Amino acid sequence: MPAPTNRFKIALKEKRPQMGCWIGLASPYAAEISATAGFDWLLVDGEHAPNDLRSILEQVRVIEASDSIPLARLPIGETWLIKQYLDAGIQSLLVPMVETKDQAEELVRAVRYPPIGSRGVGSSLARASMFAAIDDYLTTADDQICLIVQVENRAGMAALDGILETEVDGVFIGPADLAADMDHIGQAGHPEVKAAVLDAIKRTVAAGKAAGILTTDPEMQRQCLDLGATFVATDIDVTRFASAIRTSAQQALSLLPDQTASGRMTSANSSKYLQQLCKHWSHKAEVEFNETHGRINFSDGKSVEMSATQDYLSIVATTGARSDLEHWKQIIEQHLLRFAFREDCTPIWDQSSS
C-alpha cells in the first residue's frame, strides 16, 4: 500500500486554483468549525499562532475528516523540525523566510528520503505511515510531499529566479513582511509592494511553479488569480472571529441608551473655544462646526456638541453605555483649558447628567 495521495499537490500540478483560509486560533474546535466552511485548504499556522507540533496535529486531524485539505506552516525551516512534521503525517508544508537558492535546495532535501534527500528514516514510529501499516511508505512518500517556500523580503525577491530553479512545488509570496522590508510596514497594499508581489506571481507562474498568496483584498485576490496563482488564501480565522465578535458586542451595546452630560463654561471667547476644539480633533473624528455650533463624533461612539453665545459655551458630552463618561468629561475639560485665552475658566457640569 502506497503513501496517501496528496490532493493538494495534484491540484497544483493540474493548475486548478485552490482557495484557502489561514487557521491561527490554535484550537481544534475552531479548526473543525472552519473545516465545515468549504475551503479547498486550511493552513494551520505554526509561525505566528501559539502552536506547537502537538496542537498543530490535533487541528490537522479534524481538518482531515472534512473535504478541506490541511497544510501547516512551520515556525522555521530546520531539517529536524521538518522531519517531525512529515512523520506526523502532514504532507503539505509552507516554510517561511526563504531567501536563497541554497536554502530552497536544502529544504527540498529535507522533505525527501536518502539517497536523494536527508529526511530521517523512522516511519515505523510515525503517524505518516499509519504506524508501519503502510508497507510501501518509504518508497512512495517523496512523491506525495508538497513543499511550498515563502518569499517575503527583498533578499528572497532578488533570489527568486534561483529559487524557482529548484524542485520546490511552489512559492508563496508574503506581502506583510515584504512591505516591512520595503519600508512600508503595515501597508501591504502600497503600490510598490503590490507591484513587487504581482511581478513575483508572474515570474513564478512563468517558471512552471505554483504561486500563492494570502490577501484579504478582493481586488488583489482577483489580480493574483488572473495572473495564474493557484493557491490563494482569502481570509484568516483570527481576524474573522475578532471582527465578528466586536461587531456583535457593538450591536448589543447599541441597544442601551447612551450616557450624556451637559455643562456650561462662562467666557466671552466661547466661539473661539468651540472652533479651536473642533479644529484640533478634525483629524481624528467627524467634525462639523461654524462660529456658534459644533459637533465632534468619534468612531468609538464618543461625541461632544457645543453651542456658543457671547457669554458662555454650552457643552453636551456623550459616550456609549459602557464607556467612562467621567473620563470623557475630563478629556474635554483638559483640551478646553489648553486653549484658554488668558482667562481662568472651567466647565461646570450639570449634576443630573446621566
Tell me how many degrees the CA angle 315-320-325 measures, rounded to the nearest 5.
50
Q: 345, 265 in Cβ contact below 8 A?
A: yes
State the pLDDT at residue 340: 74
- Asked whether 103 and 77 are in contact (CB, 8 A), the reply is yes
CA 120 to centroid of chain Cα atoms: 34
pLDDT computed for residue 343 by the predictor: 79
Residue 139 has phi, psi (to 5 degrees) of -90, -10
Known catalytic residue: 48?
Answer: yes
Nearest Cα to Cα of residue 321 among 254, 237, 272: 254
Euclidean distance between CA atoms 349 and 94, whole angstroms: 60
Q: Could you give the 3-state DSSP secondary structure of residue 344?
A: coil
Which pLDDT value is given to residue 86? Answer: 98
pTM of the model: 0.86
Catalytic residue from among 48, 190, 280, 327: 48
Which residues, 6+ apart, have CB-to-CB distance to 17 below 8 Å? Answer: 225, 229, 230, 231, 232
Burial class (CB in 10 A: 0-12, 13-18, 19+), 274: buried
265 forms beta bridges with 313
Contact 171, 204 (CB under 8 A): yes
DSSP class of residue 87 equals H
Written as nine digits, the cell of 15 is: 493548475
Instruction: Return d(Cα 42, Cα 170) in angstroms, integer.
Output: 16
Give CA separation, 314 vs 22, 146, 280, 342, in Å.
Answer: 51, 68, 18, 20
SS3 251: helix
If you search the block for the grid coordinates 482557495, which residue do you land on?
19
Strand segments (E) across the chain: 18-23, 41-45, 69-73, 92-95, 146-151, 170-173, 210-214, 231-236, 259-266, 286-289, 293-297, 303-308, 312-319, 348-349
Q: Among 59, 54, 83, which Cα is nearest to 71's?
A: 59
Q: How far is CA 210 from CA 85, 112, 310, in A?
A: 22, 19, 71
Rounded Cα–Cα distance for residues 347 and 259 (Å): 18
C-alpha cell recorded at residue 310: 457671547
pLDDT (tens, 9 = 90+) of the chain, 354 residues, equals: 999 999 999 999 999 999 999 999 999 999 999 999 999 999 999 999 999 999 999 999 999 999 999 999 999 999 999 999 999 999 999 999 999 999 999 999 999 999 999 999 999 999 999 999 999 999 999 999 999 999 999 999 999 999 999 999 999 999 999 999 999 999 999 999 999 999 999 999 999 999 999 999 999 999 999 999 999 999 999 999 999 999 999 899 989 999 999 999 999 999 999 999 999 999 999 999 999 999 999 999 999 999 999 999 999 999 999 999 999 999 999 999 888 777 778 899 997 655
